[in-house]
Amino acid sequence: MQIAVRRLRLRRIRRLLVTVGVLLLALVGVALLPQGLHRGALAVATADRPGAASGVVQGRVSASRSGDRACFTVAAAQGRVLLEFPAGWSAGTDLRLLDAAGQTRVRPGTVMAFLGSPRAAGAVAGCRGTGRIWAVTDVRLPSLRR
C-alpha cells in the first residue's frame, strides 16, 4: 500500500516538474522575441491620443529617414502636413508605412487620403522642420470625383 502511495506522489511530482519546465521554456521563448516595433525596422511618429477622425488630408506622400525613425509627410493643397500614426505602426527600411498588423498601408510617391484630426503646428519625432500636424486614424485610397 505504501509503495502505491509513493508511486502516485512521484507521478504527481514528475507531472508538476514537467509542467513547470514547459512553462519556463515558453516564458524564455517569449522573452527572446523582438520587442517594440511590429514588423518594421523604423519607428514613426505616433499620436498619444488620436481620437476620432474629424477630417481628411489628401495628397502625395513623401517619406524620409533619420536614424532609426521614418518621417511621413503629405503635400496637401494647404501645404506640407506632418503625419502622426496610431501606436504600433512602423516603417520598413524601404520606407513603406506598416500598420500594427504589419500590412503595407502606404508607399512613398503615392497619392493617399489620411483620415484623422488636426493638431497644432509644430514638429514631430523623426521629421526635419515644422508644419501642420495630422493625427492619422486610418489610410485610404482617395476617391476620384469626375
β-pair type (131-140, 42-44): unpaired
Measured between alpha carbons, how far is 65 from 72 in angstroms, rounded to an integer?
9
User: Can you tell me whether residue 50 is helix, strand or coil?
Assistant: coil
pLDDT in tens, 17-27: 889 888 888 77
pLDDT in tens, 46-88: 887 767 778 899 999 999 999 999 999 998 877 889 999 998 8
Q: What percent of the chain has pLDDT over 70?
A: 86
C-alpha to C-alpha distances, 76 to 8, 21, 48, 60, 139, nearest whole angstrom:
74, 57, 23, 7, 15
